[in-house]
């Protein structure tokens, strides 16, 4: 599809809406890698070139998904995650569009979105692609890790980009069995999908008894124990069946989250057999494991060249722990065969300020959780 569209436009969206969650951010590494491998970054476009768009940057002062009010809160991404997002957008040459309220732009966000090195990379770099030779190790572990999409096992809250994993089906469908309660503390519980989804993390919803308006409703709830289900704790968006007809066991309908209200389509009951039913529609919630694409972990790296011969090398740590990441100078030369690189390389990391003096064999740095390093290198034996 991208090949058919790119020649007709100068930019085109390649992802769903990107919000300020780590899951949304991490999901862009896979799609940007595929577009790079297909040589779609800067491909021929309408009266010039075309650029795959990773969506606007959810930084600064924001509103909530699906809300018509606000902005009223800061971005939920921490500084390391914001740097990761800006660095990936720059290295992938995605159009950079600010998605926050520019009237309430804070100084730290301003410095990030106007960073001269990032804008230089985004505008003038070339040979932009994923660098496959990076290695890493978490903490004191001795095991060397290569770029991977292996997924963790800790529970995942459902963010705006995860709602398409949930669906509705007939309660006779064998695929609807697998929901159970996970107690977090005395006041908060989750209802989670079965954990044994091969290679994926369990998907969990927060449960809460709805506020009731009458004694009759209280008796009704006591009889069937119906619940509101939320994507994440503290939000006011509830799982909504909103089905106009019942489905056969072979049919699958997408669910959605909408503003919580006293609506029978938002009342759910967890049965002892592991089904999660909306009694109004007669349908059960399920996870479509074929579409399930949990938050990636592991390590990633991108490489590019500048207009003055400099090399840009970015390390990305998608792991839940600090990770020591390394790249061999010989592998950098392998990735850029036309650059005629020589050793040693000198340069610095943009984010930590760490200088690299005469790196002969490799470049190594500890990268924060969900953070990144961005090296500007001179491997041509001339002063940078």
- Residue with tokens 């449960």, as numbered in its chain: 207
Query: Are 231 and 188 spatial neighbours (Cβ–Cβ below 8 Å)?
Result: no
Instruction: Note the pLDDT tens digit of each residue in 8-42.
Output: 889 999 888 899 999 999 999 999 999 999 889 99
pLDDT at 67: 80
pLDDT at 229: 80
pLDDT at 384: 40
Weakest mean pLDDT among 41-50, 76-85, 302-311: 41-50
Instruction: Note the pLDDT tens digit of each residue in 296-348.
Output: 678 999 999 999 999 999 999 999 999 999 999 999 999 998 888 877 899 99
Query: Which residue would you say has higher pLDDT here, 99 or 140?
Result: 99
Residue 150, pLDDT above cutoff 90:
no
CATH topology of domain 156-287: Trefoil (Acidic Fibroblast Growth Factor, subunit A) (2.80.10)
CA nearest neighbour of 32 among 85, 82, 109, 75: 85
Supply the pTM of this predicted model: 0.64
Query: Are 274 and 178 spatial neighbours (Cβ–Cβ below 8 Å)?
Result: yes
Query: Which residue would you say has higher pLDDT here, 275 or 224?
Result: 275
d(CA 10, CA 241): 39
Residues 6+ apart with CB under 8 A from 27: 15, 161, 293, 295, 296
CA nearest neighbour of 255 among 264, 263, 265: 265
Give the architecture-level CATH label for domain 127-151+295-384. Sandwich (2.60)
Ranges of each domain in the chain: 1-124, 127-151+295-384, 156-287
Q: Which two three-digit tokens encode residue 104? A: 């309430």
Q: In the 3-class helix/strand/coil scheme, how is 182-214 assigned residue by residue? A: EECCCCCEEEEECCCCCCCCCEEEEEECCCCCC
Residues 6+ apart with CB under 8 A from 304: 91, 121, 125, 126, 127, 128, 129, 311, 312
Weakest mean pLDDT among 55-69, 94-108, 151-165: 151-165
- Residue with tokens 């003055």, as numbered in its chain: 308
Which CATH superfamily, name and number, covers 1-124?
Aldolase class I (3.20.20.70)
Equal CATH topology for 1-124 and 127-151+295-384: no
pLDDT level of residue 373 (50, 70, 90 thresholds): very high
Q: What is the mean pLDDT of residues 270-285?
A: 90
């Amino acid at each position: 599809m991208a090949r058919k569209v790119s020649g007709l436009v100068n930019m085109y969206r390649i992802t769903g809406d990107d919000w300020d969650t780590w899951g949304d951010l991490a999901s862009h590494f896979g799609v940007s890698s595929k577009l790079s491998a297909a040589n779609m970054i800067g491909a021929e476009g309408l009266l010039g070139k075309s650029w795959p768009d990773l969506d606007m940057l959810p930084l600064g002062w924001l509103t909530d998904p699906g809300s018509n009010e606000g902005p009223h809160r800061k971005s939920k991404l921490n500084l390391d995650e914001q740097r990761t997002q800006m660095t990936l957008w720059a290295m992938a040459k995605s159009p950079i569009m600010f998605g926050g309220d520019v009237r309430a732009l804070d100084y730290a966000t301003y410095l990030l979105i106007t960073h001269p090195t990032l804008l230089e990379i985004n505008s003038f770099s070339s040979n932009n692609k994923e660098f496959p030779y990076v290695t890493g190790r978490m903490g004191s572990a001795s095991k060397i890790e290569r770029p991977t999409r292996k997924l963790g096992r800790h529970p995942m809250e459902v963010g705006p980009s995860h709602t398409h994993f949930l669906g509705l089906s007939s309660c006779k469908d064998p695929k609807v069995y697998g929901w159970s309660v996970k107690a977090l503390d005395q006041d908060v519980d989750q209802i989670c999908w079965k954990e044994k989804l091969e290679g994926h993390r369990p998907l969990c919803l927060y449960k809460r008894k709805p506020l009731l308006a009458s004694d009759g409703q209280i008796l009704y709830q006591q009889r069937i124990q119906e619940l509101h289900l939320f994507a994440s704790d503290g939000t006011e968006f509830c799982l909504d069946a909103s089905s106009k007809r019942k489905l056969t066991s072979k049919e699958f309908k997408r669910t959605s989250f909408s503003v919580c209200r006293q609506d029978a389509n938002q009342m759910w009951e967890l049965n002892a057999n592991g089904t999660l039913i909306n009694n109004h529609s007669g349908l059960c919630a399920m996870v479509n494991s074929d579409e399930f694409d949990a938050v990636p972990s592991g390590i990633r790296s991108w490489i590019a060249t500048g207009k003055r011969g400099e090399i840009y090398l970015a390390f990305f740590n998608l792991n839940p722990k600090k990770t020591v990441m390394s790249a061999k100078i010989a592998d950098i030369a392998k990735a850029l065969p036309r650059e005629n690189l020589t050793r040693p390389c000198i340069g610095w990391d943009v984010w930590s300020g760490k200088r690299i003096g005469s790196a002969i064999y490799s470049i190594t740095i500890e990268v924060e959780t969900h953070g990144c390093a961005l090296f500007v290198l001179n491997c041509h034996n001339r002063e940078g």
